[in-house]
Amino acid sequence: MDSGVFYHPDGERNPSRARRTARAKKVCSKCPVMTVCREFALSTHEPFGVWGGLSEAERRLIIDRRAAVS
């Protein structure tokens, strides 16, 4: 699969970005390693792309919440 589904090109904005993110999340939802992928992206603070069914913004929120609890 083209990795472009998971990473936005320079200058991409909504609604194109929302459609691409939704397509990537759909792929993730069927992936047998989604949870492992998600935890890797969260633990390494991966700043780009859709990983484990989470967008960049969603991962940032989770990382920030985890930091606030620590």
pLDDT tens-place string over residues 23-66: 999 999 999 999 999 999 999 999 999 999 999 999 999 999 99
Q: Which residues span the domain enclosing 47? A: 3-69
φ, ψ of residue 33 to 5 degrees: the values are: -115, 25
Please give the share of the chain, as a percent, with pLDDT higher than 90.
Answer: 97
The type of residue at 40 is F
Q: How many domains are contained in the chain?
A: 1
Full-prediction pTM beyond 0.95? no
Res 3 pLDDT > 90: yes
Whole-number Å distance between alpha carbons of 55 and 70: 23
Kindly give, in sequence order, each residue whose CB lies less than 8 Å from that of residue 39, ignoring residues fewer than 6 positions away. 52
Q: Are 52 and 38 in contact (CB under 8 A)?
A: yes
